Amino acid sequence: MPAQAQAGARTDLAIDRGSHTIRLTRVFDASRAQIFEAWTEPEQVSCWWDAAGERLAACEIDLRPGGSFRFVTKGHPKEPFAGIYREIAPPDRLVFEAMGATGRVVLKDAAGKTHMTVEIECRSADQLDQYLKMGVDVGTSQTLDNLVAYARSRSATRS
């Protein structure tokens, strides 16, 4: 699978065609609270969200059920990633809708580390195929690589 073919990548990627879902998992040497904050605080999201590794040009978050978010990359300023939060349960779960799909971030304790599952549930097989053709699986894997590096750098500065 392309996301696993990247050198040093530790993202597990699964495509569930039955539920039209892209599922990515990672393990972090950081607490669930730290990773949840990295997903929900604009100043942190701005540091790691862009798959190209650039700081976001804009990051707006209204963190409440029904609240919106908008992330603008420097490379695609006219194509923001925007959506609506549906569920916020710190530090365990974040559910949102964006680009016609449902995204879920689930964080669990794992022997002093945090196990994160990110699911992108499409509405149909055709939408899933379109997402895969657009490279959403590869781009999301790269974004999670960025989050791992960001969390690592934050842990180093706290020590």
Which pLDDT tens digit goes with each residue over 45-85?
A: 999 999 999 999 999 999 999 999 999 999 999 999 999 99
- State the pLDDT confidence band at 159, using cuts at 50, 70 and 90: low
pTM: 0.90
Spatial strand order in the sheet of 81-89:
12-16, 21-28, 113-121, 101-110, 93-98, 81-89, 68-72, 58-61
With residue 109 as reference, give the H or E element that holds it. Answer: strand 101-110
Q: Which long-range contacts (CB under 8 A, 24 or more apart) does 67-70 make?
A: 69/96, 69/98
Q: Tell me the CATH number for domain 10-86+107-158.
A: 3.30.530.20
pLDDT band at 158 (very low <50, low <70, confident <90, very high): low
CA distance linking residue 108 with residue 73, whole number of Å: 29
Instruction: Give me the helix-helix angle, 32-40 and 136-158, nearest 10°.
Output: 120
Amino acid at site 94: L
pLDDT tens-digit readout, 100-144: 999 999 999 998 899 999 999 999 999 999 999 999 999 999 999
